[in-house]
Chain A
Amino acid sequence: MINRIWAIALNTFREAARIRVLYGIMVLVVGANLFAVACGKTSMHEEARIARDVGLAGISLFGSLTAIFLGVFLLYTEVQRRTIHAIVSKPIDRWEFVVGKFVGMALVLTVLVALFGAAMTVVLTWQGVGVSSAIAKALVLAWFEVLTVAAIAIFFSSFSTPFLSGIFALAMWAIGRVTPDIERATKSTSLAIRWTTKVTLEIVPDLHLFSVSGTAVDGSMVSVNGDFVSWDYVAMAAAHGLGWTVALLAFAAILFHRRDFV
């Protein structure tokens, strides 16, 4: 089982590595880091905070967009181009194929986040902005965020076209990123709206957990510039992301299992 999943994962990694748009995204992330440093220079004694926050936001944004792009295309094109016919006719279960595709994408995204992080560290160091352990925690959180977003994209891609999957995944990502704001905005509304919002937010992963710099966590403000969350918090957020990832992949596998490949 592991060998089959690994074979699919390696092939997916090989396929994704040949998509040139990823190299463009790398350039964008480096650009975002330079932009972050430029923003920091224009601020009043907040160079480090702005440079780090904008740099991390770039990793989160471009990482998530890459995850959506890969998630909605890599599974769909297997079916569309019929390459899947020569694969699922071999002794591999369809859920193994779905998990293999995810693991392959996770490998690509891991390499990307590592490269994004390295680029950010180089740019920040070069500009004389300090790099703290909080950055490492923030990067781990960003990593789990993009993996969760990849699982969301794969889930939609298991039954929908790339266009619709992309829209659904983007919507879920956007809602997931602002869950506390949505809760706050609906606090003083009617009971029906509050319950509808509550139910909606329950079926959307809380991606805000992964992007905490500059916001309140357990009542106090945290930032990569100063006080940051503990490793316990990072582990809790990672567990949340993994839980959603497993659930989404399970649903994707069930939907994929029922499909006819004509």
Chain B
Amino acid sequence: MADLAIDVRELRKTYRTPFRRKKVEALRGVTFSVERGHIFGFVGPNGAGKTTTIRTLMGLIRPTGGSASLLGHAIPSRAARFKVGFLPESPYFYDYLTVGELLDLAGRLFGVPSDVRKKRADELIETVGLDRARGQSLKKFSKGMLQRAGLAQALMNDPELVVLDEPMSGLDPIGRKEVRDLIVGLRDQGKTVFFSTHILTDVEAITDHVAIIARGALQAQGKPAELVKQTMLGVDIIVRVPDTMSSADTEGLTAGADRVRRVDDELSLTLAADSDVDAWIDRAHAQGAKVIQIAPRHETLEDLFMRQVADREPATKEGVK
């Protein structure tokens, strides 16, 4: 228990629609825990309950049932929030402030002494790459710049735990890479990072632990490598075929294969795991094709995600965040 940064037990949240008073279950008994010093990815489609879980943890929403604690403090806890940095989803800040003023406000609320506040704000502005936008009001910031400002304000208290709701949202590939590096850097400093996303490549790249949520309930959780099936699902092959190859020969090569795609003289396909790959390669060589790449195909986090989520019934009209 002492080593847990976040501990969530049977967390429930039920809303009622304004007029018909219809019940909408946003969270249906969510249970998971996050160890200190880990990067935890919280994955789910839109309306799965990611943001509701995070807002409940941060004291913005009161749970209907269950319990949760941050750094050993039962929520809602002001003591815990001193040690937690939070980036809301699609962050909205006072648009008349500059990034320096925003960080100053955040520092004041965290009780950071004024001399430390200024120094830390300067460092963070540089870290998130907003040095050249210091003088601009947030009104003039792009979505990606706001996301960076949001990350900076979440780090003003030098937190032990950082909770980020969709931190890569609105960022270009370079920005996403920078945020990923920042998250890894935070872990290297001994901090715990809990972030939600629906961008699976980000999760696969940096998380120690992942949980998949759909329709308000946890579908799977564990280390990414343990969650995905280690058995081979097929063999991905790319060959270069000669211009002279007839369409009948091409059809012969691709018969029974999956994910067949041809771009100019490059043919890519996936053979079933139990196929005779050697025989297929011999046949391809005989027809003048040149093998460029052969790679075993294992289950990815995306496959797992689709397996867990795609078959579920569609979200209701009142779908939760």
Interchain CA distance A4-B93 in the complex, whole Å: 17
Question: B106: nearest residue on chain A (CB-CB)?
Answer: A90
- Nearest Cβ distance between residue B118 and chain A, in whole angstroms? 15
A218 proximal to B (CB < 8 A):
no
A86-B88, A93-B78 known; 19 new pairs, CB 8 Å cut-off, are: A3-B111, A4-B111, A7-B105, A7-B108, A11-B105, A15-B96, A83-B92, A86-B93, A86-B153, A87-B109, A89-B59, A90-B86, A90-B106, A91-B82, A92-B109, A260-B60, A261-B55, A262-B60, A262-B321
**Judging by beta carbons under 8 Å apart, are A260 and B109 in contact?**
no
**Judging by beta carbons under 8 Å apart, are B92 and A81 in contact?**
yes
**Judging by beta carbons under 8 Å apart, are B59 and A88 in contact?**
yes
Question: B165: nearest residue on chain A (CB-CB)?
Answer: A85
B141 / chain A contacts, CB cutoff of 8 Å: none
Interchain CA distance A4-B112 in the complex, whole Å: 11
**Judging by beta carbons under 8 Å apart, are A261 and B91 in contact?**
no
**Judging by beta carbons under 8 Å apart, are A86 and B150 in contact?**
yes
B residues bordering A, Cβ < 8 Å? 15, 52, 55, 58-62, 78-79, 81-82, 84, 86, 88, 91-94, 96-97, 105-106, 108-111, 150, 153, 321
A184 / chain B contacts, CB cutoff of 8 Å: none
**Judging by beta carbons under 8 Å apart, are B94 and A91 in contact?**
no
Given the known interface contacts A4-B108, A260-B62, the answer about A90 and B81 at a Cβ–Cβ threshold of 8 Å is yes
Q: Which of A75-114 contact B (CB under 8 A)?
A: 81-83, 85-93
Interchain CA distance A85-B89 in the complex, whole Å: 9
Given the known interface contacts A3-B111, A261-B61, the answer about A82 and B105 at a Cβ–Cβ threshold of 8 Å is no
Tally A residues with Cβ within 8 Å of B.
24
Given the known interface contacts A11-B105, A261-B60, the answer about A91 and B93 at a Cβ–Cβ threshold of 8 Å is no
Question: B61: nearest residue on chain A (CB-CB)?
Answer: A260
Interchain CA distance A14-B137 in the complex, whole Å: 13
A45 proximal to B (CB < 8 A):
no
Q: Which of A4, A15, A93, A262 contacts B55 (CB 8 A)?
A: A262
Interchain CA distance A203-B94 in the complex, whole Å: 36
**Judging by beta carbons under 8 Å apart, are A82 and B92 in contact?**
yes
B62 / chain A contacts, CB cutoff of 8 Å: 258, 260
A88 / chain B contacts, CB cutoff of 8 Å: 59-60
Interchain CA distance A107-B150 in the complex, whole Å: 28
- Nearest Cβ distance between residue B267 and chain A, in whole angstroms? 50
Interchain CA distance A18-B98 in the complex, whole Å: 14
A7 / chain B contacts, CB cutoff of 8 Å: 105, 108-109
Interchain CA distance A93-B77 in the complex, whole Å: 10
- Nearest Cβ distance between residue B7 and chain A, in whole angstroms? 18
The 9 closest A-B pairs by CB, nearest first: A7-B108, A89-B58, A85-B88, A90-B109, A261-B60, A91-B81, A89-B86, A82-B92, A91-B82
Interchain CA distance A148-B96 in the complex, whole Å: 28
- Nearest Cβ distance between residue A147 and chain B, in whole angstroms? 24
A89 / chain B contacts, CB cutoff of 8 Å: 58-60, 81, 84, 86, 88
B78 / chain A contacts, CB cutoff of 8 Å: 91-93
Interchain CA distance A257-B321 in the complex, whole Å: 22
Question: B52: nearest residue on chain A (CB-CB)?
Answer: A262
Question: A261: nearest residue on chain B (CB-CB)?
Answer: B60
Interchain CA distance A258-B61 in the complex, whole Å: 9
Question: A83: nearest residue on chain B (CB-CB)?
Answer: B92
**Judging by beta carbons under 8 Å apart, are A82 and B88 in contact?**
yes
Interchain CA distance A258-B76 in the complex, whole Å: 12
Interchain CA distance A85-B164 in the complex, whole Å: 13
**Judging by beta carbons under 8 Å apart, are A90 and B93 in contact?**
no
**Judging by beta carbons under 8 Å apart, are A14 and B86 in contact?**
no
- Nearest Cβ distance between residue A259 and chain B, in whole angstroms? 9
Interchain CA distance A196-B265 in the complex, whole Å: 91
Chain A 1-38 against B: per-residue CB contact (8 Å), 1 yes, 0 no? 00110110001001100100000000000000000000
**Judging by beta carbons under 8 Å apart, are B93 and A83 in contact?**
yes
**Judging by beta carbons under 8 Å apart, are B91 and A86 in contact?**
yes
**Judging by beta carbons under 8 Å apart, are B109 and A14 in contact?**
no
Interchain CA distance A85-B60 in the complex, whole Å: 7
- A–B pairs, 10, beta carbons within 8 Å: A6-B108, A7-B105, A11-B105, A86-B93, A86-B153, A89-B60, A90-B81, A91-B82, A262-B55, A262-B60
B86 / chain A contacts, CB cutoff of 8 Å: 86, 89-90
B94 / chain A contacts, CB cutoff of 8 Å: 11, 15, 83
A11 / chain B contacts, CB cutoff of 8 Å: 94, 97, 105
A81 / chain B contacts, CB cutoff of 8 Å: 92
Interchain CA distance A7-B55 in the complex, whole Å: 23
Interchain CA distance A139-B158 in the complex, whole Å: 47
B58 / chain A contacts, CB cutoff of 8 Å: 85, 89
**Judging by beta carbons under 8 Å apart, are B60 and A4 in contact?**
no
A92 / chain B contacts, CB cutoff of 8 Å: 78, 109
Question: A262: nearest residue on chain B (CB-CB)?
Answer: B61
B111 / chain A contacts, CB cutoff of 8 Å: 3-4, 91
B60 / chain A contacts, CB cutoff of 8 Å: 85, 88-89, 260-262
